[in-house]
Structure 1
Amino acid sequence: MSILGRAALLLALVVAVYAVAMALLSRRPGRRAWEQSAERGVYAVFGFTTVAIVTMWVALATDAFELRNVAEYSSSTLDAQYKVTALWGSQAGSLLLWAWILSGFSALVVATNRSRNRQLMPIVTAVLMTIAVFFLGLLSFVSSPFETLATVPAEGRGLNPLLQNPYMQAHPPMLYLGFVGLSVPFAFAMAALVTRKLDTAWITSVRRWTIFSWLFLGVGIVLGAKWAYETLGWGGYWAWDPVENAAFMPWLVATAFLHSVMVQERRGMLKVWNMVLVILAFTLCLFGTFLTRSGIISSVHAFGESTLGPFFLAFIALVLVGSVALLITRLPLLRSQHTLESYVSREAVFLFNNLLLVGLAFAVFWGTVFPVISEAVRGEKITVGQGYYDQIATPIGVALLVLTGIGPLIAWRKASVAQLRRRFVAPLTVAAVAAVPLLLLTDLPDEPVAAGTVVAGVFVTACIAGEFWRGTKVRHALGGVSWPGAFVNMVARNRRRYGGYAVHIGVVVLFIGFAGSKGFVTESDIALREGDRADVAGYTFVNEGSTSSRDDHSSVVSVQMGVFRGDERVATMRPGVETFAVDETRNSMVAIDTAPTRDLYLFLSQLTDDGLARVTVFVNPLVVWIWVAGVIIFLGGLLAAWPGPPSARRERADSPAAERRAPA
């Protein structure tokens, strides 16, 4: 297996180098055959990396402990599904997954552009294969997943217990799909710069790639938050961990690009800015990969000490210097066709949105790297706490939430006072009405941001609902269709627009979940012997006894807690601790009872021999809506990216033709 895997990776590396050379040489006139050869090389790279990754999975499934990766991250007692997960539990295995996804995406790009973008494709192929050369070179010569051991152990160490979780089966692959997916817009952007084809053709080609990459990153982030919430036992889901930040930063920049690209399509503006965003998003993906593999940061997600850091830094520098230099040489060709005519316009709202998103990304970047910089300069690592991020992210987040509602309602170029009054009176009225009970029921000196976020969410929901209502009303007024039919027809004929609105609704739900879980949480430590009870936030917790069990894999101790509200039992919860036999690692078994308005979250910190259970209780309002929001955003993004029916008449995303024809 070691020979087969190494040979497959070496062959993939050689063919990737060949594909780069052929793609670049094929730009000369009359060398179409060379371009075709380069594209066939892309398919071959995908085939060889597929052989390598399948070989690795077979080695894990068959307990081939002669391979270091198998011996250190798997065991014969490990469940079959987690032997698959063990691939990306290791550093070398995760790089192999990165290279495999990249080669697959590259092959898909070549296959879907056989008859279009012919001037761009040689450079697109060269850029994608250059990235592949970097990762395949690391896998072949620096961090091989097929490294063998001199002495074959009888048993493997097994996978880290924290990673033996269903969410960890999906969280890393989703992030990699997002990271790798953003290499495609980068490749097309570089091709547009090299060939001087700087119209909107390259943007049209990468729009769906960007949306899907953004979606995968978002799903990966949400799954990671869910894993942290259910596994780590601290009652939260986001701690601004450096590796969490590594995924969040490119997601923010990709979000900015998806908004600003509409300004370029509609008004021919922000061309340089969009190029910068694409370069920045891809560079941040590389930076995030570097963070987890360099050993310079401490994180439960990181791979520890590594020799890969200098290689990643060199490649990041190469990407930045090369792409920025190319961009500078093309600045005269990237002049905007129009200028910003008014700060009260949709272009201005998108610009403010972009500045906030990129500003937040920079603040997160600075907080992430500051400990490293402080250690290098002063010899002392100064940790940046959660308070720094919360103080910056909270006002920016609320401002972005408000802009989410304002943007779709404001006209391009310049909005009139009459139009503003017509569009915003109803949403502002609804928000004002919603603020009344919040003023009466909320302790504003302690919870102003949470209350303000809820009011902003109501405002945005009213804005978006108004857009759906107006569009449906116009379709229905045209005649011959029912109200439900008008709604479905409207969405189907303009999926990008209304899919975006659905994403915005998901963002509102997300912020409502944030507001409840951050602003109104209750935490309490209780210590109960069997039969004892304690009251927390209107709930009574009763220790109903402890249990223990053991098998060949692990031992588990837990305590049964009855939860009552008055005389009514609302839940029976069993927080516990699992100790794994391989290395005596302890893993918390958090107990969570979920309802639409709150989560009851129990963490067993200690269970003494005499039956005293020390339990941390969290009452987390509205957390479930964070996960619901993730589903809404994902479905909305799919709707926005999904191609419309071939027979559907294409209409402008900002102003449907039916609405233009309808009377005011």
Structure 2
Amino acid sequence: MQYIGENLLPGQLGHFFVVLSLVASLVAAIAYIKAANALVPEEHNSWRKLARISFFIEAGSVFGTFAIIYYIVSSHSFEYFYAWNHSSTSLSVNYLLSCIWEGQEGSFLLWAIWHSIIGLILISKGGKWEAPVMTVISFAQVCLATMIIGLYLGDTKIGSNPFLLVRQHFQDAPIFQRADYLSIPQMKDGQGLNQLLQNYWMVIHPPILFLGFASTIVPFSYVIAGLWKKDYSGWTKIALPWSLFSGAILGTGIMMGAAWAYESLTFGGFWAWDPVENASLVPWLVMIAGLHTHVIFNATGHSLRATYIFYILSFVLVLYSTFLTRSGVLGDSSVHAFTDSGMNFQLMLFIAVFFLPAIYLMARNYTKIPHVVKEESSYSREFWMFIGALVLFLSALVITWQTSFTPIYNKITGKTTAMPEDPEFAFNKIQVFVAIVIGVLTAITQYFKYKDTPRGTILKKIAVPTLIAAVLSLCISIFSGIEYNKQGIGFLGSIHVALFAALYAIVANMGYIWTGLHGKVKAAGASVAHIGFGLMLVGIIIASSNRKVLSINTTGINLAFDPKSKEKSLENLTLVKGLPTDMGKYMATYESNDSTSRHGTVMYFKVNFKNKNGKEEFNLYPNLIRNTKGQQGFSNNPDSKHYFGKDIFTYISYADDMDSEKDTTSFRKYPVNVSDTVFYSNGFFVVNKVVPNPNNDKYKFTSSDTAVMADITVFSKDGRQYKARPAFYVKNNQANYTLDTVFAQNLAIGFGRILDGGKIELEVKESTRMVPFVALKVYEFPHINVLWIGTLIMIIGFVMSMVFRLKQSNRLKVAK
């Protein structure tokens, strides 16, 4: 059948580029193997030339593939499943890139792009390590190309094709029996981007995070090259800047994800130990452990074996995190994991083809790797650096176990073993002690000298920083307070100790720049990074421990949230539109809403906050995004008021305006006399009296008007009482009546008319949708900016160290 309106050329060209990248990367890998093993320089150069040309073609193919996918998505070519499934015509232009990496194919492609760029940089540097290192990277590109090639070998699926047509995906759907299927309404628009990804952080966070993932292959490649070529230590100087770069960029990507969670997810903060968060954190922890043992070896000759192990595991754990997030294993335990794409065997093979050869090479060469037989002195810098690296590694193992065991066990056995009732505390109760140990070691280790330190000097050096940190932490604990007390005094005590350790790291490293480095800031990258890390810990401890819920609900209007939801009715303030509501030191008013989407999928809510002291007033605009992926419900995008010392963090936990149900409830009529009682579902009300021509705070009738008002008291089942004053009046010979609404009881009462015999007719309606209202969650995060400032300083420290090491490496080259 000849289909009308399909543009098949982009898909054909894109698939050609995918196949070309697979072939070119395979040729590059083989040619680099030949070059690495060549014994004659002419043969080496010949194979290297072919390998470089092949890698250039591979890199061009990867960029071409990305460009075509972007064209398909941006041009709304909904004949392609990728565009139809991940984008829509209502989507803002700035989210078109997010559409690409929402899908698995796009994220694999993003990974391959960064590998291509890294490979081109390494090729430009040349040197004896190019061939073995680029062999590993080229082979990784082969593996990534298979992830998006979309072929079947029998019943086995190899990769997922991003250029698949909708009619190929839904082969049996009747609509594709029509040649003009693109003209039907269902094909005029796509499914749209997942609402969680419609945030500016999701335009920049995934590329940075995937650059971090991709960068871990460089230290891994040098390790494999060292084992392969039996030059076990020759790579350590040239690889150290790459390790620093990997630590910096992966850490940046992780904290960008934390910022996204803070601004876009209803975690109620920046970190919730979500499995996908953990999957990115674990490789970083192991990379930092390897970075420290790497520095130890360059300075003393110790810990090279540990460096090999850490760099291998860091990259393998990136591959393992890829399996966790894309296999569907975490589908029930994470808010942003991919679903099962039928590629689980291929994902496991992806891990095996790197891990098993690395382990084999490591085992075969382990005894040949340089190792200092003499143990480190416990008064040496390298001893405590190694202890710190080991603690980071053990922390990573614990997090991996806690993250992986239950979902994988459930997947294998088919059982539904529940996660811990408080999963955050399950992690925190262990990691708080990791923070204490790492904080203390970060503070004192640099005061030790390599190889040995005179026994009497170390205590003198750290005495002043220890005292200052103790005084600071004591002042914060006493005057600012750590108010977290949910898990008992033992855990509270550990938080106070962790605060001291974090402040100790800051103070001691600032002191070391002054006393140990004599103010030489250019050489102080490590100390600056440690200061930033300490500030991060301080921000995490204070912001998380002293987080306050401001939206305590005292209105009596309580929403019943799903029992599986983390929301509690008493922590969500119900705001009726236009009605100022008491919220502690603020009066909060839900003023308006506005749909910014043509299809009404995004709704912003204007909430006014007025401080009761009259000195401050501001508006916040949290929004809800309706799910367009065939699921019910919506996602909450928070908004925050930022101060130097705190954030007011808000999100809408429910809004009736985003509820698709119509209000079909009708009024019921009741003829009553004064003192009569009328029952409703949650109580009853009594007609106290009928007042002619009322003149009060609600009505302004005069003696010349024709009006009557019913004075009514509403009694709810919980013992509360409310007033209602509906009225009936005649104006311009027209009979009119006004409703009075008791919002807390979802009750509207109208004065219908006056009946014979002194009776009146009341019209009564019960409905939850009579007036617009929202449920608002408000947190106060004290000193949250300390966390973000600490992150920035830590990354600056990494960059300073990287620049310093590059300069050292260049000086060594010149000297040779």
TM, length-normalised to structure 2: 0.73
Judging changes above 3 Å, is the alpha-carbon distance between structure 1 residues 639 and 544 closer, same or farther for their aligned structure 2 residues?
same
Which one has a larger percent helix, Structure 1 or Structure 2?
1
- 2:195 is equivalent to residue 195 of structure 1: no
Corresponding letter in the other structure for 1:5: G
Deviations 1:293-331 (A, max 9, x none): 111112222121211221111221232221111111112
**Residue matched to 1:466:** 511
Once the two structures are TM-superposed, the CA of residue 432 in structure 1 deviates from its matched residue by 2.8
Does the CA-based 8 Å contact 1:606-1:615 persist in structure 2? yes
Q: Please, which of 284, 289, 305 is the counterpart of residue 340 of structure 2?
A: 305
Q: Distance in 2 between matches of 1:143 and 1:426?
A: 60
The residue correspondences of 1:370-385 to structure 2 (distance < 5 A) are 370-375=405-410, 376-377=412-413, 379-384=415-420, 385=423
Q: Which amino acid aligns with 1:284?
A: L
Q: Distance in 2 between matches of 1:647 and 1:136?
A: 37
Give me the whole-angstrom Cα distance separating, in 2, the residues matched to 1:49 and 1:318: 22
* 1:297 partner SS: coil
Moved more, 376-385 or 343-352: 376-385
Q: Which residue of 2 aligns with 1:627?
A: 788
In the alignment of these two chains, the number of paired residues is 625
Give 1:289's match in structure 2, choosing from 289, 299, 322. 322
Residue equivalent to 1:599: 647
Which runs of no fewer than 5 residues in structure 2 stay unpaired? 1-9, 152-158, 168-175, 177-181, 484-488, 553-570, 657-769
Question: Identity across aligned pairs (percent)?
Answer: 24
Which secondary structure state, in structure 2, belongs to the residue aligned with residue 382 of structure 1? coil
Shift of 1:163: 0.7
In 2 relative to 1, CA 123–429 (structure 1 residues): closer, same or farther, beyond 3 Å? same
In structure 1, distance between residues paired with 2:31 and 2:277? 39
Q: Distance in 2 between matches of 1:295 and 1:236?
A: 25
Report the alpha carbon displacement of residue 471 of structure 1 after superposing the two structures with TM.
Answer: 5.3
Other-structure match for 1:158: 192
Provide the residue aligned with 2:761 in structure 1. none
The separation in 1 between residues aligned to 2:24 and 2:244, in whole angstroms, is 30
**Which residue identity is paired with 2:574?**
A
Q: Offset at 1:359?
A: 0.6
Q: Deviations over 1:206-236 (max 9, x none)?
A: 2222222222211111111111111122422
Match of 2:450 in 1: 412
| 1:478 alignment partner in structure 2 | none
Question: Secondary structure of the residue that 2:77 maps to in structure 1?
Answer: coil
8 A Cα contact 2:482 2:545, kept in partner: no
Q: Displacement, 1:379?
A: 2.7
Decide whether the 8 Å contact of 2:623 with 2:651 is kept in 1.
yes
Matched, 1:556 2:603: yes
Shift in alpha-carbon separation, 1:453–1:597, aligned structure 2, 3 A: farther
* SS of residue in 2 equivalent to 1:330: helix
Residue 291 of structure 1 and its aligned partner are, at CA, apart by: 1.5
Tell me the residue number matched to 1:401: 439
Instruction: Specify the alignment match of 1:149 in structure 2.
Output: 166
Contact 1:96–1:145, Cα closer than 8 Å, also in 2? no
Instruction: State the secondary structure of the residue aligned to 1:326.
Output: helix
Q: AA paired with 2:222?
A: F
Q: Does 1:330 align with 2:375?
A: no
Q: In the alignment, which of 66, 79, 83 is matched to residue 53 of structure 1?
A: 66
1:209-267 CA-to-partner distances (Å, cap 9, x unmatched) read: 22222222111111111111111224221111111111001000011011111111111
The corresponding residue for 1:588 is 636
Q: 1:295 to 1:373 in 2, by over 3 A?
A: closer
For the residue of structure 1 that corresponds to 2:235, the secondary structure is: helix
CA contact (8 A) 1:560 1:573 kept: yes
Tell me the distance in 2 between the aligned counterparts of 1:386 and 1:587: 21
User: Are 1:83 and 2:83 counterparts?
Assistant: no
Q: Answer yes or no: is 1:184 the counterpart of 2:218.
A: yes
Contact 1:464 1:501 in 2 (8 A): yes
Corresponding residue for residue 716 of structure 2: none
Is structure 2 residue 497 aligned with structure 1 residue 452? yes
Structure 1 pair 646/3, CA: closer, same or farther in 2 (3 Å)? same
Provide the rounded CA distance (Å) in 1 between the counterparts of 2:402 and 2:590.
45
Report which of the two has the higher share of strand: 2
TM-score, with normalisation over the residues of structure 1? 0.89
User: Mean Cα displacement is larger for which, 558-567 or 24-33?
Assistant: 558-567
TM alignment of 1:489-528, pairs within 5 A? 490-492=520-522, 494=523, 498-523=524-549, 524=552, 525=571, 526-528=573-575
- Find the counterpart in structure 1 of residue 15 from structure 2: 6
Structure 1 equivalent of residue 717 of structure 2: none
Give yes or no for contact 2:194–2:628 (8 Å, CA) kept in 1: no
Amino acid at match of 2:263: E
> Which whole-Å CA distance do the structure 1 matches of 2:207 and 2:810 have between them?
37
- Deviations 1:471-496 (CA, angstroms, capped at 9, x unpaired): 56x5xxxxxxxxxxxx5xx233x3xx
Structure 2 residue aligned with 1:566 = 613
Whether the 8 Å CA contact 2:283–2:317 is kept in 1: the answer is: yes
CA 1:256–1:552 in 2, change beyond 3 Å: closer, same or farther? same
Contact 1:544 1:562 in 2 (8 A): no
More displaced stretch, 391-400 vs 445-454: 445-454
Secondary structure at 1:541 match in 2: strand
| CA displacement at 1:416 relative to structure 2 | 2.2
C-alpha RMSD of matched pairs (Å): 2.4
Structure 1 segment 201-240 matched on structure 2, within 5 A: 201-240=234-273
Distance in 1 separating the partners of 2:807 and 2:383: 34
The change in CA–CA distance for 1:548 and 1:128 in structure 2 (over 3 A counts) is: closer
- The C-alpha deviation readout for 1:55-106, integer Å capped at 9, x for no partner, is 1112222222222111111122222221122111111111111122212212
Do the aligned partners of 1:605 and 1:616 also contact (CA within 8 Å) in 2? yes
| CA offsets 1:574-601 (integer angstroms, 9 cap, x no match) | 4343447896862324231121222111
More displaced stretch, 439-448 vs 297-306: 439-448
1:21 aligns with 2:182: no
- The answer (yes or no) to whether the contact 2:473–2:503 under 8 Å persists in 1 is no
Query: Is contact 1:65–1:156 with CA below 8 Å preserved after alignment?
Result: yes
* Structure 2 residue matching 1:568: 3-state secondary structure: coil
